[in-house]
Amino acid sequence: LFRNKLFAGGVILGVILQVAVSAAFVFVATYYQSIRGDSPLTAGLFYLPTTATIFLLSPVVGIVSARVGLRAPAIVGSVTSAVAAGMLVFLTPDTPVAFLLVSQLLFGVGIACTAIPITTAILNGAPSERAGIASASNNAAQRVGNAIGIGALGSLLVVTADQWFADAVSAMGLSSSSSAAALGGFHPLSPPGGGSDVAQAADAAFVHGLAIVMGVGAVINLLGVVVARHFLPSGPIGGDEADADPALA
């Protein structure tokens, strides 16, 4: 199946999309609740622009993809998702709500514009008798992307936040043991003399790590442009590309 460029491109693009999106959704939700102090309900409401945009835009993207091909929507989606992630590089503990909502809206546009081409490429890149395998591959690509995004980028967040926090606490004249205790959960138990400064340093450390992760996520999304240009067709595709060229199946 992976000898078929259409199928392979869809799977690769699916992994790329999920790496960046899963990291953004999981860690930004933590930002809303742990740094901004929002309730779980309020944090969930921040994602309404993303959900609504995907719901409203997906049918339009399907129509456009059928007319102009899969490449253009996938490129637009990858760039838009990269912009959304790039905006989050500039997060601070008190970033305005409007800024956050614009980023969430752009994520919705990016997901809608890439999800349709990804699914279409995978299903059309496999012969009809392997439709079940193709569907499972689409799901597997998402799961792999989720694992990489949350695991690898999560580790990057912890490492960068840990280093930033250690430097900040050291500048306050606190011991390394106090630093380690304070780092737990990014909302520390203040050691004597630390007070709110340590808590603020912990918040700033998390935001710093999150900004680094979102920058990496933006770059990963831009890799989707390269994949789309190389693997996805620029014109309308038939109902079953693999059946049209059995050698690729």
Give tens-digit pLDDT for 50-102: 999 999 999 999 999 989 989 999 999 999 999 999 999 999 988 999 999 99
> Higher model confidence: residue 163 or residue 76?
76
- Within a domain: residue 89? yes
> Higher model confidence: residue 192 or residue 33?
33
How many Cα atoms occupy the beta-carbon half-sphere of 171 within 13 Å?
9
- Within a domain: residue 247? no
- Give the least confident one: 115-119, 130-134, 156-160: 130-134
Query: How far from 100 is each of 28, 31, 37, 91, 168, CA to CA, in Å?
Result: 10, 11, 15, 9, 26
Neighbours of 241 (CB within 10 A): 21
- Within a domain: residue 9? yes
Neighbours of 4 (CB within 10 A): 23
Beta carbons of 94 and 126 less than 8 angstroms apart: no
- Within a domain: residue 78? yes
Q: Directed axis angle between helix 5-30 and helix 71-87, to 10°?
A: 20
- Within a domain: residue 246? no
- Within a domain: residue 18? yes
pLDDT value of residue 238: 60
- Within a domain: residue 206? yes
Beta carbons of 81 and 106 less than 8 angstroms apart: yes
pLDDT value of residue 241: 52
Query: How far from 168 is each of 52, 173, 174, 209, CA to CA, in Å?
Result: 40, 9, 9, 14
Instruction: Please report which confidence band the pLDDT of residue 34 belongs to, taking 50, 70 and 90 as the band edges.
Output: confident
Instruction: Please report which confidence band the pLDDT of residue 1 belongs to, taking 50, 70 and 90 as the band edges.
Output: low
pLDDT value of residue 3: 76
- Within a domain: residue 169? yes
Over pLDDT 90: what percentage of the chain?
44
When the pLDDT of each residue in the chain is averaged and rounded to a whole number, the result is 83
**Across residues 107-122, what is the average pLDDT?**
92
Q: Strand, coil or helix: what is 1?
A: coil
Neighbours of 234 (CB within 10 A): 12
**Across residues 35-43, what is the average pLDDT?**
89
CATH number at residue 74: 1.20.1250.20
pLDDT, tens digit, for every residue of 191-211?
Answer: 434 446 777 888 888 999 999
pLDDT value of residue 246: 43
Q: Does 169 score more than 90 pLDDT? A: no
Q: Does 188 score more than 60 pLDDT? A: no
- Give the least confident one: 1-5, 82-86, 224-228, 243-247: 243-247
Count the domains in the chain: 1
| Cα–Cα distance measured from residue 122 to residue 1, given in angstroms and rounded to the nearest whole number | 10
- Give the least confident one: 14-23, 106-115, 193-202: 193-202
Encoded tokens for 8: 């392979």
Q: For residue 237, which of 115, 123, 114 has the smallest C-alpha distance?
A: 123
The residue segments making up the domain with residue 54 are 5-241
